[in-house]
Structure 1
């Protein structure tokens, strides 16, 4: 019998995999290490210190940008997840129809088009709205982030729906459950892990976004990533490393919580 193909047994696989992990994670570990640097340089080690974490904590601008980023990401991910859930149900829980592929393309368009193009389009659209309404608040940033995050939330939700057995929903219908009752008591609980994954991914994408934020935001609406970008244009200090490390910690905490949640449900 023919031997089963195993890519891990190919010559050179282990060194290439190790090199890939080093190239991916060594810069991150370096950033975390230098966030504890006592000196002002981001390249010369001057001893261990928590000074830059204290400086970031005492920086009112950083606090304001962090709260603004979390608020935008929370609202944008919630909006994107609701829309993505409805879109996923509408494109998977029905028979194939004409134009279905076109709808898939339209939903996933932000993934295929360069982000700078989406940012310019959103800037023009919301610029027109600002002139008409006179409103200059964070609502435009929230809507812009939500529009960009919809496909990121849509993909895991749709994947979850496609992997779900229709027999339970069919049984609920046979027991005279209304479509809403079937969705509430059968579909939604089974879809929960997919919705959680979509919401988490949308939240992280929104929290990390720079390009769309730079084009859409008004004066005084810096998020944490755009604030860090502005600081790097002026003078780079380990305070930026400290803020980046805290963002990394938040991301790892979200991933760990989601892993524990899905493992428990499984």
Structure 2
């Protein structure tokens, strides 16, 4: 009869503890967003009042609107640039090109934020929606490139060669053959860029300026006073949106999410 080894039990226990450490706080945030008490000390009862209060908060709605605009614009631009960068990485195998495209996602976000802040100041660019959008494009483009390159690596190159043999120009072969085949990866990259943008705090904090507020910045300003159920409610909605987009992106391009 097979016996469970002690080290297997220890490994299982370690895994359970790690996942509990990661996900139990998130579960607490979700549960207490429905708590009928302003204090998070104990459970009083179920209510949806905090969500109603949230949707009546004009500052929060304005911040959410800013985040959506920035995320939409930055994801569209970074998807276009990242698709071209991913295609170039797949085609040319250049180390210099890899460094240029992938460096922004490899270095710490705080360093990216500080360097972009210095760059915008040097350009005499007023910090606001534009600076945040440009910063998010620079940061998200590399992630899109990785997803697109992963999709291209699994594509049958003979299809593109067959299109060229039939008289198609390189641009026609890309537009009519390559692009439709990699479109799931392109859409996955777009969703990833949108997700990264809408919940980014560090880079946004350095590049937003004093008069621009996004949803993460607004949440930060609220929790400096106290973590109220209203903060729990907006965090729950943001968490749900992020998880939803990540699931869709992983379904569109599963190879990009494999370790």
Q: Same fold (TM over 0.5)?
A: yes
The yes-or-no answer on 1:78 pairing with 2:76 is: yes
Aligned runs of 1:1-266 on 2, under 5 Å?
A: 11-12=8-9, 13-94=11-92, 96=93, 100-130=94-124, 135=126, 137-258=128-249
Shift of 1:114: 1.6
Question: What are the Cα deviations for residues 199-248 of structure 1, in whole angstroms up to 9, with x where unaligned?
Answer: 11111111111111111112221100011001111232110000001111
Residue of structure 1 equivalent to 2:3? none
TM-score normalized by the length of structure 2: 0.89
Q: Distance in 2 between matches of 1:86 and 1:258?
A: 19
Q: Distance in 2 between matches of 1:161 and 1:229?
A: 39
TM-score normalized by the length of structure 1: 0.87
Residue of structure 2 equivalent to 1:3? none
* Structure 2 alignment gaps of length 5 or more: 1-6, 255-259
* Structure 1 alignment gaps of length 5 or more: 1-9
Q: Distance in 2 between matches of 1:43 and 1:106?
A: 49
1:93 aligns to what SS in structure 2? helix
Say if 2:78 and 2:137, in contact at 8 Å, map to a contact too. yes
Say if 1:130 and 1:136, in contact at 8 Å, map to a contact too. no
Say if 1:88 and 1:157, in contact at 8 Å, map to a contact too. yes
Shift of 1:149: 0.9
Q: Distance in 2 between matches of 1:80 and 1:238?
A: 35
Question: What are the Cα deviations for residues 6-35 of structure 1, in whole angstroms up to 9, with x where unaligned?
Answer: xxxx72343333333222211111110000
Say if 2:151 and 2:253, in contact at 8 Å, map to a contact too. no
1:14 aligns to what SS in structure 2? helix
Distance 1:138 1:19, change over 3 A: same
Q: Distance in 1 between matches of 2:98 and 2:195?
A: 23
Q: Distance in 1 between matches of 2:208 and 2:38?
A: 31
Of 117-126 and 18-27, deviating more is 18-27
Distance 1:120 1:256, change over 3 A: closer
Q: Distance in 2 between matches of 1:260 and 1:117?
A: 32
Of 149-158 and 59-68, deviating more is 149-158
The CA RMSD over aligned residues, in Å, is: 2.0
Q: Distance in 1 between matches of 2:41 and 2:123?
A: 45
